[in-house]
């Protein structure tokens, strides 16, 4: 990859092309549990290198404002949330959820506050997440409708993890079927220790692969929402084993398991920080302890619901247990998906230079992801808008399913509508 293209993809701050792409879509900005109650503590939000404050007022209305008070710049995130507004601690200026200035104790002129509004941004709650939109008001897109938004929030498994690296490292890991059977061998290929593959019998396990094949061939198709691809492995009944993963602009994917669908978002906080949001539904999603165990989020040394920051770093060798690797109890020395995926992404450094890679056909979906994102970045750099999201409520991922040779894998996900009009280079 050319260095300039890497730069184009990884920079998300104000004025950058990818930053503008991300600012063109609604984006998850918090786990709804972080702003559950009226007049609860305000939340600092950083999105694509800019700082905001989110709060829920006395009526339950959500507000999203610039973090710094328009008077003289103290952080509103330290303020008081009370009486239907957020009040800056410094001189007491108070703002409503829509930014309207309500009170100025150090300037009693009633006309002043009437005509004054702090910059505010659209904010909503849906599917257990809080969403924000940071682009131009006149270009606000329709609010997205994801399948998970049609499931009761209290039956879903939802988490947020904040990691100290660029979003693309995490997003690429999510569009990379060939690592699943290797990095996640403990969950994906139990029995690897004895050279005897046994299929995971956990229908909740997104790493459980149906057949023992670490070099799937990939079939990729551009769609209106982004793209989807099938990882194709040799089936056991003479057919082909298919696993379909869709990528939804600008940073979402759906990861399948037989009885669980997980939608993940890799939201850029800034160039070197990312918030991962996961929302999963299925018959086992209510069992939070079981899900946290599989995610590897049950070790308080590395993650907790109090701050959500991922704390496995080189300082603690990412928590890797080399003794368990030697005893062949664990392939990676980590336990769970997040410790494994997180360690790989973080070990690349805050921003990886992709001009140094050596790609193989198994990286095809990662390459296509970059092409789709580069296409969007070039589009906005040329003065156009990125493509709007179509209805994504029926976009589907498919867990490993065997189909006869010669049948179209696309028929397993008939609502992932292909977009033959779009020319993505070298497809």
Residue numbers at the binding site for Fe ion (CB under 5 A): 341
Phi, psi at 210, each rounded to 5°: -75, -30
> Does position 74 bind ligand FES by CB under 6 A?
yes
* Nearer Cβ to Fe ion (144/216): 216
Q: What are phi and psi of 111, to 5 degrees?
A: -70, -30
Residues 134, 67 contacting (CB under 8 angstroms): no
Q: Which residue has the tokens 């670490």?
A: 214
Radius of gyration of the chain (CA): 23
Q: Is 71 a residue that touches ligand FES (CB under 6 A)?
A: yes
Binding mask 254-293 for ligand FES (x = CB under 6 A): ----------------------------------------
Judged by beta carbon distances under 5 to 8 A according to partner kind, the member of Fe ion, ligand FES, none in contact with residue 338 is: none
| 25, 93, 148, 331: which one binds ligand FES (CB under 6 A) | 93
CB of 115 to ligand FES, least distance (A): 17
What phi and psi, each to the nearest 5 degrees, are found at residue 213? Answer: -150, 110
Query: In the numeric block, which tokens belong to residue 409?
Result: 């894998």
Four-CA torsion 286, 289, 290, 296, nearest 10 degrees:
130
Closest separation in Å from C-beta 82 to ligand FES: 15
Helix (H) or strand (E) segment spanning residue 263: strand 260-270
Binding-site partner at residue 277 among ligand FES, Fe ion, none, CB < 5 to 8 Å by type? none
Contact pick of 44, 91, 199, 324 for ligand FES (by CB under 6 A)? 91
Q: Which does 72 bind (CB under 5 to 8 A by kind): ligand FES, Fe ion, none?
A: ligand FES
Contact 372, 227 (CB under 8 A): yes
Angle at 289 between CA 285 and CA 295, to 5 degrees: 75
User: Which of ligand FES, Fe ion, none does residue 38 bind to, with CB < 5 to 8 Å depending on kind?
Assistant: none
Q: Which stretch binds ligand FES (CB under 6 A): 21-29, 68-76, 124-132, 198-206?
A: 68-76
Tokens of 330: 């664990």
Q: What is the DSSP secondary-structure string of 358-377?
A: ---GGGHHHHHHHHHHHHHH
Q: What's the closest the beta carbon of residue 90 comes to ligand FES, in angstroms?
A: 4
For position 90 contacting ligand FES by CB under 6 A, the verdict is yes
74 binds, among Fe ion, ligand FES, none (CB under 5 to 8 A by kind): ligand FES
- β-sheet with 129-132: strand ranges across: 27-31, 129-132, 123-126
Single out the residue of 195, 277, 236 nearest to residue 26, CA to CA: 277
**Minimum distance of ligand FES from residue 92's CB (angstroms):** 6
Q: Is 59 exposed, middle or buried (0-12, 13-18, 19+ CB in 10 A)?
A: exposed
Give me the phi and psi of 345, to 5 degrees please: -65, -45
Tell me: does residue 116 bind ligand FES (CB under 6 A).
Answer: no
Using CB under 6 A, pick the residue from 3, 72, 107, 408 that binds ligand FES.
72
The sign of the torsion formed by the CA atoms of 267, 268, 269, 272 equals: positive
* Using rule CB under 6 A, residue 55 touches ligand FES: no
Residue range at the interface with ligand FES (CB under 6 A); choices 89-97, 299-307, 314-322, 348-356: 89-97
Question: Binding residues for ligand FES, how many (CB under 6 A)?
Answer: 10
Residue 341 binds what, of ligand FES, Fe ion, none (CB under 5 to 8 Å, by partner type)?
Fe ion
Q: Of these, 9, 88, 245, 248, which contacts ligand FES (CB under 6 A)? A: 88
**Which listed range, 90-98, 202-210, 296-304, 400-408, lies at the site for ligand FES (CB under 6 A)?**
90-98
The residues near 5 (Cβ < 8 Å, ≥ 6 apart) are: 354, 370, 374
Provide the binding-site residues for ligand FES, judged by CB under 6 A. 69, 71-74, 88, 90-93
């Amino acid at each position: 990859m050319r260095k300039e293209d890497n730069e184009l993809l990884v920079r998300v701050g104000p004025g950058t092309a990818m930053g503008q792409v991300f600012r063109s879509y609604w984006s998850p900005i918090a786990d709804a549990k972080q702003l559950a109650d009226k007049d609860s503590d305000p939340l600092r939000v950083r999105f694509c290198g800019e700082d905001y404050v989110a709060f829920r007022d006395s009526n339950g209305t959500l507000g999203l404002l610039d973090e710094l008070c328009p008077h003289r710049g103290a952080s509103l995130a330290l303020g008081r949330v009370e009486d239907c507004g957020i009040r800056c601690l410094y001189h007491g200026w108070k703002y409503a959820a829509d930014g309207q200035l309500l009170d100025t104790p150090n300037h009693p002129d009633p006309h002043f506050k009437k005509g004054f509004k702090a910059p505010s941004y659209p904010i909503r709650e849906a599917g257990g997440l809080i969403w924000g939109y940071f682009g131009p008001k006149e270009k606000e897109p329709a609010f997205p409708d994801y399948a998970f938004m049609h499931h009761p929030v209290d039956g879903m498994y939802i988490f947020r993890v904040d990691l100290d690296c660029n979003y693309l490292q995490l997003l690429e890991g999510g569009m990379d079927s060939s690592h699943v059977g290797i990095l996640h061998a403990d969950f994906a290929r139990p029995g690897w220790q004895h050279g005897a593959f046994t299929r995971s019998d956990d229908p909740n396990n997104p790493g459980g692969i149906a057949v023992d094949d670490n070099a799937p061939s990939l079939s990729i198709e551009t769609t209106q929402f982004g793209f989807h691809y099938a990882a194709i492995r040799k089936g056991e009944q003479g057919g082909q084993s298919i696993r379909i993963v869709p990528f939804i602009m600008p940073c979402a994917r759906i990861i399948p398991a037989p009885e669980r669908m997980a939608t993940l978002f890799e939201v850029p906080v800034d160039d070197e920080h990312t918030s991962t949001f996961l929302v999963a539904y299925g018959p086992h999603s209510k069992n939070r302890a079981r899900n946290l165990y599989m995610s590897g989020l049950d070790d308080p040394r590395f993650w907790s619901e109090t701050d959500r920051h991922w704390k496995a770093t080189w300082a603690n060798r990412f928590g890797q247990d080399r003794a368990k690797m030697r005893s062949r109890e664990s392939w990676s020395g980590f336990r769970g998906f997040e410790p494994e995926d997180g360690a790989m992404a973080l070990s690349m450094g805050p921003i990886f230079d992709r001009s140094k890679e050596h790609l193989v056909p198994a990286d095809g979906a990662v390459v296509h992801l970059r092409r789709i994102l580069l296409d969007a970045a070039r589009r906005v750099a040329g003065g156009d808008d990125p493509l709007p999201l179509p209805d994504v409520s029926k976009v589907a991922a498919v867990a490993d399913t065997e189909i006869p040779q010669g049948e179209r894998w696309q028929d397993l996900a008939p609502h992932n509508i292909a977009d033959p009009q779009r020319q993505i280079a070298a497809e």
